[in-house]
Protein backbone atom coordinates (compact mmCIF):
# COMPACT_ATOMS: atom_id res chain seq x y z
CA UNK A 1 0.00 0.00 0.00
CA UNK A 2 2.84 2.34 0.89
CA UNK A 3 4.61 1.63 -2.40
CA UNK A 4 1.40 2.26 -4.30
CA UNK A 5 0.99 5.68 -2.61
CA UNK A 6 4.56 6.68 -3.46
CA UNK A 7 4.00 5.68 -7.08
CA UNK A 8 0.83 7.84 -7.29
CA UNK A 9 2.65 10.85 -5.81
CA UNK A 10 5.54 10.44 -8.27
CA UNK A 11 3.03 10.32 -11.12
CA UNK A 12 1.42 13.59 -9.97
CA UNK A 13 4.78 15.31 -9.68
CA UNK A 14 5.83 14.10 -13.11
CA UNK A 15 2.55 15.38 -14.58
CA UNK A 16 3.04 18.85 -13.05
CA UNK A 17 6.61 19.02 -14.34
CA UNK A 18 5.48 17.97 -17.80
CA UNK A 19 2.71 20.60 -17.95
CA UNK A 20 5.09 23.29 -16.72
CA UNK A 21 7.51 22.34 -19.42
CA UNK A 22 4.84 22.56 -22.08
CA UNK A 23 3.76 25.99 -20.89
CA UNK A 24 7.33 27.21 -20.83
CA UNK A 25 7.94 25.83 -24.29
CA UNK A 26 4.77 27.49 -25.56
CA UNK A 27 5.79 30.88 -24.17
CA UNK A 28 9.23 30.78 -25.71
CA UNK A 29 7.72 30.34 -29.20
CA UNK A 30 5.85 33.69 -29.09
CA UNK A 31 7.21 36.01 -31.79
CA UNK A 32 7.23 39.75 -31.18
CA UNK A 33 6.39 41.77 -34.27
CA UNK A 34 8.44 44.94 -34.68
CA UNK A 35 6.42 48.19 -34.32
CA UNK A 36 6.02 49.95 -37.62
CA UNK A 37 5.79 53.68 -37.07
CA UNK A 38 3.14 55.48 -39.10
CA UNK A 39 4.32 58.14 -41.46
CA UNK A 40 3.94 61.64 -40.03
CA UNK A 41 3.32 63.02 -43.52
CA UNK A 42 -0.43 62.72 -43.13
CA UNK A 43 -3.56 64.80 -43.27
CA UNK A 44 -5.49 64.12 -40.08
CA UNK A 45 -8.72 66.01 -40.82
CA UNK A 46 -10.40 67.84 -43.70
CA UNK A 47 -13.69 69.73 -43.73
CA UNK A 48 -15.50 72.43 -45.69
CA UNK A 49 -16.21 75.47 -43.52
CA UNK A 50 -18.01 77.96 -45.79
CA UNK A 51 -21.39 76.30 -45.32
CA UNK A 52 -23.85 75.94 -42.46
CA UNK A 53 -24.06 72.21 -43.16
CA UNK A 54 -21.18 70.17 -41.80
CA UNK A 55 -19.22 68.63 -44.66
CA UNK A 56 -16.41 66.32 -43.48
CA UNK A 57 -13.90 64.81 -45.87
CA UNK A 58 -13.30 61.05 -45.76
CA UNK A 59 -9.53 60.49 -45.68
CA UNK A 60 -7.99 57.35 -47.17
CA UNK A 61 -4.35 57.18 -46.06
CA UNK A 62 -3.64 54.15 -48.24
CA UNK A 63 -4.83 55.72 -51.51
CA UNK A 64 -3.90 59.24 -50.38
CA UNK A 65 -7.33 60.58 -51.25
CA UNK A 66 -9.82 62.86 -49.55
CA UNK A 67 -13.46 62.45 -50.60
CA UNK A 68 -15.92 65.25 -49.95
CA UNK A 69 -19.60 64.50 -50.60
CA UNK A 70 -21.92 67.50 -50.82
CA UNK A 71 -25.46 66.80 -49.57
CA UNK A 72 -28.52 67.02 -51.80
CA UNK A 73 -29.66 70.58 -52.42
CA UNK A 74 -26.26 72.14 -51.74
CA UNK A 75 -24.87 73.70 -54.92
CA UNK A 76 -21.69 75.47 -53.90
CA UNK A 77 -19.69 77.45 -56.44
CA UNK A 78 -16.64 77.53 -54.15
CA UNK A 79 -15.31 75.42 -51.28
CA UNK A 80 -13.22 76.69 -48.38
CA UNK A 81 -11.25 73.83 -46.79
CA UNK A 82 -9.99 73.60 -43.21
CA UNK A 83 -7.10 71.15 -43.15
CA UNK A 84 -5.20 69.70 -40.20
CA UNK A 85 -2.04 67.60 -40.54
CA UNK A 86 -0.25 65.17 -38.23
CA UNK A 87 1.96 66.56 -35.46
CA UNK A 88 5.22 67.83 -36.87
CA UNK A 89 4.00 67.76 -40.49
CA UNK A 90 3.48 70.79 -42.69
CA UNK A 91 1.09 71.42 -45.56
CA UNK A 92 2.51 73.04 -48.68
CA UNK A 93 2.02 76.76 -48.37
CA UNK A 94 -0.93 78.08 -50.34
CA UNK A 95 -2.45 74.70 -51.14
CA UNK A 96 -5.32 75.19 -48.67
CA UNK A 97 -6.77 78.18 -50.51
CA UNK A 98 -10.38 78.62 -51.60
CA UNK A 99 -11.48 76.16 -54.30
CA UNK A 100 -13.34 78.16 -56.95
CA UNK A 101 -15.10 77.43 -60.27
CA UNK A 102 -16.78 74.26 -59.05
CA UNK A 103 -18.78 74.06 -62.28
CA UNK A 104 -15.55 73.72 -64.23
CA UNK A 105 -14.38 71.08 -61.76
CA UNK A 106 -17.42 68.94 -62.58
CA UNK A 107 -17.48 69.75 -66.31
CA UNK A 108 -13.80 69.57 -67.23
CA UNK A 109 -12.29 67.85 -64.24
CA UNK A 110 -9.14 69.15 -62.64
CA UNK A 111 -6.65 67.87 -60.10
CA UNK A 112 -6.70 69.37 -56.59
CA UNK A 113 -3.80 68.15 -54.47
CA UNK A 114 -2.42 68.71 -50.98
CA UNK A 115 1.31 67.94 -50.50
CA UNK A 116 2.37 67.16 -46.92
CA UNK A 117 5.95 66.95 -45.59
CA UNK A 118 7.09 65.46 -42.26
CA UNK A 119 10.07 66.57 -40.16
CA UNK A 120 11.98 63.44 -41.18
CA UNK A 121 11.72 64.47 -44.83
CA UNK A 122 9.04 61.96 -45.80
CA UNK A 123 6.19 63.33 -47.88
CA UNK A 124 2.80 62.44 -49.27
CA UNK A 125 0.39 64.08 -51.69
CA UNK A 126 -3.36 63.75 -51.16
CA UNK A 127 -5.84 64.21 -54.01
CA UNK A 128 -9.26 65.74 -53.42
CA UNK A 129 -12.38 64.09 -54.84
CA UNK A 130 -15.60 66.13 -54.72
CA UNK A 131 -18.91 64.34 -55.15
CA UNK A 132 -22.51 65.49 -54.88
CA UNK A 133 -25.70 63.73 -53.85
CA UNK A 134 -27.60 65.90 -56.33
CA UNK A 135 -30.45 63.93 -57.95
CA UNK A 136 -30.28 63.12 -61.65
CA UNK A 137 -31.79 65.54 -64.15
CA UNK A 138 -35.17 64.44 -65.42
CA UNK A 139 -36.42 66.67 -68.22
CA UNK A 140 -39.05 66.41 -70.91
CA UNK A 141 -38.28 66.25 -74.61
CA UNK A 142 -38.81 69.42 -76.65
CA UNK A 143 -39.55 67.40 -79.79
CA UNK A 144 -41.94 64.54 -79.07
CA UNK A 145 -41.02 62.74 -82.31
CA UNK A 146 -37.35 62.33 -83.34
CA UNK A 147 -38.38 62.28 -87.00
CA UNK A 148 -40.29 65.59 -86.84
CA UNK A 149 -38.16 68.01 -84.79
CA UNK A 150 -39.59 71.27 -83.49
CA UNK A 151 -38.51 73.99 -85.98
CA UNK A 152 -37.02 77.37 -85.03
CA UNK A 153 -36.79 79.93 -87.83
CA UNK A 154 -33.72 82.09 -87.16
CA UNK A 155 -33.95 84.11 -90.40
CA UNK A 156 -34.51 87.44 -88.69
CA UNK A 157 -32.62 88.63 -85.64
CA UNK A 158 -35.56 90.59 -84.25
CA UNK A 159 -37.52 87.35 -83.89
CA UNK A 160 -36.69 86.01 -80.46
CA UNK A 161 -36.92 82.24 -80.39
CA UNK A 162 -36.74 80.46 -77.06
CA UNK A 163 -36.29 76.76 -76.41
CA UNK A 164 -38.33 75.87 -73.33
CA UNK A 165 -37.25 72.66 -71.61
CA UNK A 166 -39.66 71.47 -68.93
CA UNK A 167 -38.67 69.23 -66.06
CA UNK A 168 -40.54 66.27 -64.62
CA UNK A 169 -39.99 67.32 -61.00
CA UNK A 170 -42.03 70.44 -60.08
CA UNK A 171 -39.21 72.37 -58.36
CA UNK A 172 -36.00 70.70 -59.48
CA UNK A 173 -33.39 71.40 -60.60
CA UNK A 174 -33.86 75.07 -61.40
CA UNK A 175 -34.23 77.53 -58.58
CA UNK A 176 -36.33 80.16 -60.33
CA UNK A 177 -33.49 82.64 -60.79
CA UNK A 178 -31.68 84.16 -63.74
CA UNK A 179 -28.66 81.96 -64.36
CA UNK A 180 -26.89 84.61 -66.43
CA UNK A 181 -23.51 84.02 -64.78
CA UNK A 182 -23.61 80.32 -65.67
CA UNK A 183 -22.00 79.37 -62.36
CA UNK A 184 -24.60 76.67 -61.66
CA UNK A 185 -26.46 76.02 -64.92
CA UNK A 186 -25.15 75.64 -68.46
CA UNK A 187 -26.62 74.70 -71.81
CA UNK A 188 -25.55 74.11 -75.39
CA UNK A 189 -26.70 72.78 -78.74
CA UNK A 190 -24.82 69.75 -80.06
CA UNK A 191 -24.67 68.80 -83.72
CA UNK A 192 -24.40 65.24 -85.01
CA UNK A 193 -20.61 65.41 -85.06
CA UNK A 194 -20.50 66.36 -81.38
CA UNK A 195 -19.61 70.03 -81.82
CA UNK A 196 -21.18 72.25 -79.16
CA UNK A 197 -22.64 75.74 -79.43
CA UNK A 198 -22.89 77.27 -75.98
CA UNK A 199 -25.59 79.57 -74.70
CA UNK A 200 -24.27 82.71 -72.99
CA UNK A 201 -27.52 83.26 -71.15
CA UNK A 202 -30.34 81.15 -69.79
CA UNK A 203 -33.23 81.68 -67.42
CA UNK A 204 -35.34 79.42 -65.26
CA UNK A 205 -38.77 79.36 -63.68
CA UNK A 206 -40.59 77.34 -61.03
CA UNK A 207 -44.18 77.05 -59.75
CA UNK A 208 -46.57 78.62 -58.87
CA UNK A 209 -46.18 80.85 -61.93
CA UNK A 210 -45.74 77.77 -64.13
CA UNK A 211 -46.85 74.16 -63.86
CA UNK A 212 -43.39 72.63 -63.67
CA UNK A 213 -39.88 73.95 -63.36
CA UNK A 214 -38.35 74.80 -66.73
CA UNK A 215 -35.27 76.29 -68.31
CA UNK A 216 -35.51 78.80 -71.15
CA UNK A 217 -32.77 79.05 -73.79
CA UNK A 218 -32.74 82.16 -76.06
CA UNK A 219 -31.36 81.11 -79.44
CA UNK A 220 -29.96 84.60 -80.08
CA UNK A 221 -27.66 84.17 -77.07
CA UNK A 222 -25.65 81.35 -78.66
CA UNK A 223 -21.95 82.21 -78.92
CA UNK A 224 -21.25 83.70 -82.37
CA UNK A 225 -24.87 84.44 -83.21
CA UNK A 226 -24.47 88.20 -82.68
CA UNK A 227 -21.35 90.21 -83.51
CA UNK A 228 -20.65 93.93 -83.47
CA UNK A 229 -22.82 96.60 -81.89
CA UNK A 230 -24.88 99.64 -82.83
CA UNK A 231 -25.03 100.19 -86.59
CA UNK A 232 -22.56 97.34 -87.16
CA UNK A 233 -24.67 94.79 -85.25
CA UNK A 234 -24.94 91.59 -87.23
CA UNK A 235 -26.94 88.38 -86.76
CA UNK A 236 -24.91 85.45 -88.07
CA UNK A 237 -26.16 82.07 -89.16
CA UNK A 238 -24.80 80.41 -86.02
CA UNK A 239 -25.32 77.62 -85.68
CA UNK A 240 -25.88 76.66 -89.28
CA UNK A 241 -29.21 75.28 -90.42
CA UNK A 242 -29.68 71.71 -89.27
CA UNK A 243 -30.69 69.41 -86.44
CA UNK A 244 -29.25 69.82 -82.94
CA UNK A 245 -29.54 68.15 -79.58
CA UNK A 246 -30.10 70.20 -76.43
CA UNK A 247 -27.52 69.53 -73.73
CA UNK A 248 -28.17 70.72 -70.18
CA UNK A 249 -26.05 70.78 -67.07
CA UNK A 250 -27.05 71.76 -63.58
CA UNK A 251 -24.11 71.70 -61.18
CA UNK A 252 -22.65 68.17 -61.39
CA UNK A 253 -25.49 66.56 -63.35
CA UNK A 254 -25.77 66.56 -67.14
CA UNK A 255 -28.33 65.33 -69.65
CA UNK A 256 -28.69 65.47 -73.45
CA UNK A 257 -32.16 65.27 -74.95
CA UNK A 258 -32.69 62.26 -77.20
CA UNK A 259 -34.82 64.03 -79.83
CA UNK A 260 -33.33 66.91 -81.86
CA UNK A 261 -34.65 70.38 -82.58
CA UNK A 262 -34.26 71.99 -86.02
CA UNK A 263 -32.89 75.43 -86.97
CA UNK A 264 -33.68 76.94 -90.38
CA UNK A 265 -32.83 80.15 -92.29
CA UNK A 266 -35.05 81.27 -95.17
CA UNK A 267 -32.55 83.55 -96.87
Beta pairing, strands 90-91 & 113-117:
antiparallel
pLDDT score, position 30: 54
Would you tell me how many other CB atoms lie within 10 Å of the CB of residue 199? 25
What is the rounded CA–CA span in Å between residue 139 and residue 169?
A: 8
pLDDT at 174: 65
- State the pLDDT at residue 225: 97
Total-model pTM = 0.78
Per-residue pLDDT of the chain (267 residues; tens, 9 = 90+): 545 444 445 444 444 444 454 444 444 555 655 544 556 899 999 999 999 888 999 999 999 999 999 999 888 999 999 999 999 999 999 998 999 999 999 999 999 999 999 999 999 999 999 999 999 999 999 999 999 999 999 999 999 999 999 988 777 776 555 445 578 889 999 999 999 999 999 888 777 777 778 889 999 999 999 999 999 999 999 999 999 999 999 999 999 999 999 999 998
Rounded Cα distance, 105 and 108, in Å: 6
Q: Tell me the domains of the chain and their CATH numbers.
A: 43-132 (2.60.40.2340), 150-264 (2.60.40)
Give pLDDT, residue 193.
Answer: 97
Model pLDDT, residue 29: 53
Amino acid sequence: MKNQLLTTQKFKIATVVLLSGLLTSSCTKTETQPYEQESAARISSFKIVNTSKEVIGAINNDDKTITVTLPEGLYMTSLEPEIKVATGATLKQGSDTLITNMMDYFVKGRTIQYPVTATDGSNATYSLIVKSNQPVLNVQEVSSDPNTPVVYDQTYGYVFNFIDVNTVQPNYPFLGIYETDLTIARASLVDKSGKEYHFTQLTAGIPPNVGNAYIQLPLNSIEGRITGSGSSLKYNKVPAAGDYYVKLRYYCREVTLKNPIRIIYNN
